[in-house]
Each structure stands twice: as C-alpha cells, then as structure tokens.
Chain A
Amino acid sequence: MASTATAPSPRATAPAPSALSPRGLASAGSRLPGRLLAALSRVLPIVVLCALWELVTRTGLVGTQIVPPFSTVCAAAVDLLRSGTLLQHLGVSLYRALGGLALSIVVGVSLGISMARNRHVENFFDPLVSLVYPLPKTALVPLTMVWLGITDRAAILVVFLAGLLPIVVNTYHGVRSVDRVLLWSARSLGTPERGLFRRVVIPASMPYIFNGVRIALPVSFIVVISVELVASKVGIGNLINGFGGLGIYDYMFATILLFVAVAFVADRCAVRIGTGVMRWHEERDAS
C-alpha cells in the first residue's frame, strides 16, 4: 500500500480531546471550575491572536489596506450572515464537500474492503492507489472543467477523488489488521466462515474506517474551496475570490473565518459521532 495507516484513534488529532470526550467529562464533571479553567486555557491562544491582530492594525504597524482590523472583519461577518449571502454560498460549498465525501466513503470503504479480502483486486488497484496518492487532486480541475464544465458535478468529482484514498488506505489496513484470535474465537463460538465478515471484520475495522473519514473530512473542505477559487460561479471559494479581486478585504477575511468556524464544527461533530459509536475503542493517547 502507498501509506501506512495512523493509529486509529477517532480523535487522534483533536485539538480539544479531554473536554469533549465522555471520559473527560466523567472525570472532571464534578468540578465545574476546573472544567471552566480548562476550556478557557484552550480559548486563550485564539483570544490573544485576535487581540494582537486588532492591536497591530489599529496602531498602524500593519496597513489596514493589507489587513483590516479584527473588529472590522467581525462587523463584515455579521453583515454577511444577516444578508444571507454567506448562507447561500455556504449551502453550495457544503453540498459539494459533503456530497463528494459521501461518495468517497461509499466507494472507498467498498474498495478498501475488497482489496484487503481479495488478492487479485489488491494486485490490480495497489499500483493505481500508489500512483494517485501523491497527486494533488486539485491539479485535475482544468481537466474536470473540460469534461464537466463549471458545475457541481465537477467539484464533487474532485472532492471525491481527494477523499477516496485516505479512506481506501485506512479501510484496507483496518480489515487487514483484524486479530487472528478474534476470527478464531468467533469460529469456535459457532460463527460460520461466511458470517465472519459481518460479525467480526466490520466491527473490528470501524476505528480505522472512521479514522479515514476523519482525515477525508477536512480534505473535502480544503478541496472544495480550492476548486471554487478557480472554477465556480458560486460557493465560498468563489465568494472569497470575488471579495479579494475587488479589494474588499474585510469581507474576504470574514468569509474565510466563518468557513473555518463551519469546518471546525463539522470536525467536532464527526468526532462526537465517532466516539459515540465507538465507546468501546481503546485510546492510544489516553493518559
């Protein structure tokens, strides 16, 4: 395979693991001030950054033509939200990102499983996966413009391709790393050979599959913006590009910040779902 899977912790790269994990809540839940303090300590760097941003622009250290002050950007964000402009474009971008992601989950999980279970399928797809893995999928945008024009379908295709490989690779490793003794135990407990897949292989690979999805989710957000920057008449990427081209930097910054917020929330939701479904999963990073 082109790459090895990372440790399949559903929140391996989560920026705030303790406060949002069920175990973290259970251990600190009784001491509210402790939790509050912990939450504050995570927000603090962001507050400092925004304050610094405001400071350097207000004092003239950085020209407001290049970087608008944080407060101005906030006002622009409020306006964008109120007018409905942002929501309209956000809907388009989310449709493309999540549509592409959904496709890559369906195809990626199926392909990963097939490759892990069938040598011929693996031999056929392994070189393709290895070749396509390092390719920046956004480099295909000129091609998809020719094939599909400037459409939702073109954007979804690129997002799909970008999300596909991490899911294939992680699923493959998940199925491959199912412990032999689990399969043997199931066999001796009465599971027939053909029942092993549903009863053991799928549940045992879930953390890996989820890890693949967790990697593909931000990729789909990144890629959809990249596609929209060059080949779209709508969407957040197009909006950013439009504001930038016209020199309306406060609105451009506001659009970027709001999209970052949406992406963050989406990631947190994915983690919540993952840990909810896999409460059983042993965490490698648990202290």
Chain B
Amino acid sequence: MARIDVRGLTKTFQAIKGETVEAISDLSFAVADNQFVSIVGPSGCGKSTLLYIVAGFILPTAGQVLVDDRPVQGPGPDRGIVFQEYALFPWRTVGDNIKYGLEEKRLPRDEIERTVQKYVRLMGLEGFQHKYPRELSGGMKQRVALARTLAYEPDVLLMDEPFGALDAQTRELQQDDLLAVWREKKKTVLFVTHSVEEAVYLSERVVVMTTRPGRIKSVVDIELDRSGNREAIMTSPEFARLRNRVWLDVRAEVLKHYESSRGADG
C-alpha cells in the first residue's frame, strides 16, 4: 500500500504584476510504506515546494496528496519535517527542543523525560541537553532537529536538504546515522536533495524532476548490495552506474534550464 500518494499535483505561484509561475506541473508518484525515496532535480525545479505540499504547509493549485489514503489538509503529526536550516527554537535548550512536540501531545512529565533521554542517546547528544542551539555546530543542530522530529514519532519523515549546509565529512556521518535510524525505526522517508550521490547512497528509489515547471523526468530504482559498509557501496560498479544514470538525467535538465535562461537574457 502506498503510504504517500501524490496525484496530479500542480502549483502555480502569483508573481509580481499578476504573472503566474508554474512551480510544479501534474506531478504523480507514490512512496510505499517504509520506503526511502529521494527527489533530485535542478535548482528551482520545485522540489521543496513539493515537499511543503506533502507536509501541508502550502496548498496545491490542483491535484492532491494522500497520506494513508487520507487527503492532506494541513500539517499533521503523522508527517515529521526536517529543514536544511534546522529550524530549532533558539530560545529553547537542546532538551527543551526535543521536548516540544511531546509537550503538545500533553504527555505526562516523566514520560516526556524518558522519551527525551531516549532520543538524546539515539542521536549522540549526551552532555548537550542544556546547551542552546547557538552553542552547537551545524551537524549537532541537525541531530537535534532530527531528534525533535523523531521524538514525536511520526511515521513519515519529510526531509528538505537536511545535510545541505554541512561540510562533506559531517554530511557522510549524518547520512549513515540517518540510515541507521531509518532501519531501526521503520520510517517512510521522502528526502529532497541537490546531491545525486547522496540520493543514490541513501535511497531505494530516486525521483528526478525536470526544470521548472517541475515534472517527473525519471524514476530510478536503486538496487544496491547494502550488506557492506559505505566504502564497499560507494566504490562498487553498480553504485557508479546508478549514480551516472541519475546524474545524466539531472545534468540534462540543468543544461536545459541554463539554455532557456540564457535565451531569455539575450
């Protein structure tokens, strides 16, 4: 059964002086239960817009999103979100940030405390509980953001370039931590990223979007032998083949976008 079902989604934005810009156009795809699906595409193709519609932050112009067969009508606790810019509450400590969703659930205090401790341990945040976000590195902030979202226990994780602001080494470590969490907690993940490599490494399926208005260019199933470690996976010929396949699709769209914008300028 499809956990997330995107059907004929179109979103147009009102630009200045009554002009409309079509961000995404007639987009359809599905994400199965516990599946890890990434969305890649050129900048401005509407990847984030798509994710925000699934999250319920913005409404589509046409089409709809079904989550567990129910149409999305607004943000909901069944879909947790993680942003590139972390979006931590700066006035709350690490522990209090993780606590936020649990407070909204009106859980008993000792249960909140237990859950916070659990996710502090899971994300390796021991000793940072009483720090404020401004005292943390980018990688740490993203761990807190993920812990805050996981603590609420949503079945679906929507991730908007969560590692985009991190340096390459931190990024790789976070990716592996995310994979470990995904396997352990059995989440359905919809992951937006710029990085083809990241998408192929993490996902079971990669959706490539076209340049604006965003449509589906291709859907690539990633079948990799994941029994080995990162080194084994990323140096395997199969990884290179899939990476090239996705990269060429994205590249073609990037060039198309570049040509058309140059044409418009000239």
Contacts and interface: CB of A to CB of B under 8 A. Distances in A.
B89 A203 contact: yes
Quick one: which of A185, A195, A200, A204 has the most chain B CB within 10 A? A185
A190 B81 CA distance: 12
B136 to A, nearest CB: 11
B91 A278 contact: yes
Contacts of B132: 279-280
Contacts of B79: 188
A80 B104 CA distance: 58
Contacts of B92: 280
B134 A280 contact: yes
A179 B89 CA distance: 10
Quick one: which of A188, A191, A203, A279 has the most chain B CB within 10 A? A188
A56 to B, nearest CB: 48
Contacts of A184: 52, 55, 57, 75, 81, 83, 87
Contacts of B163: none
A184 B81 CA distance: 9
Quick one: which of B56, B57, B77 has the most chain A CB within 10 A? B57
B90 A185 contact: no
Given A280-B92, A280-B134, A282-B134, A187 B75 contact: yes
A281 interface: yes
A181 B149 CA distance: 14
B105 interface: yes
A281 B104 contact: no
A77 interface: no
A258 interface: no
Interface residues on A, range: 20 to 34
Contacts of A195: 104
Nearest to B93: A280
Contacts of A281: 90-91, 134
Contact of A188 (B80, B133, B134): B80
Contacts of A179: 85, 87
Interface in A162-187: 179, 181-182, 184-187
Given A188-B55, A189-B100, A203-B91, A181 B148 contact: no
B219 to A, nearest CB: 26
Given A187-B57, A188-B81, A279-B132, A182 B104 contact: no
Contacts of B57: 184, 187-188
Interface in B42-61: 52, 55-57
Interface string B129-160: 00011100000000000001100100000000
Contacts of A181: 83, 85, 87
A231 interface: no
Interface of A: 179, 181-182, 184-191, 195, 200, 203-204, 206, 278-282
6 tightest CB-CB pairs across the interface, nearest first?
A: A190-B104, A189-B101, A187-B75, A181-B87, A280-B132, A188-B75
Interface of B: 52, 55-57, 74-77, 79-81, 83, 85, 87, 89-93, 100-101, 104-105, 132-134, 148-149, 152
Given A189-B77, A280-B90, 14 more contacts: A179-B87, A184-B52, A184-B75, A185-B87, A185-B89, A186-B100, A187-B57, A189-B148, A190-B105, A195-B104, A200-B89, A203-B89, A280-B132, A281-B91
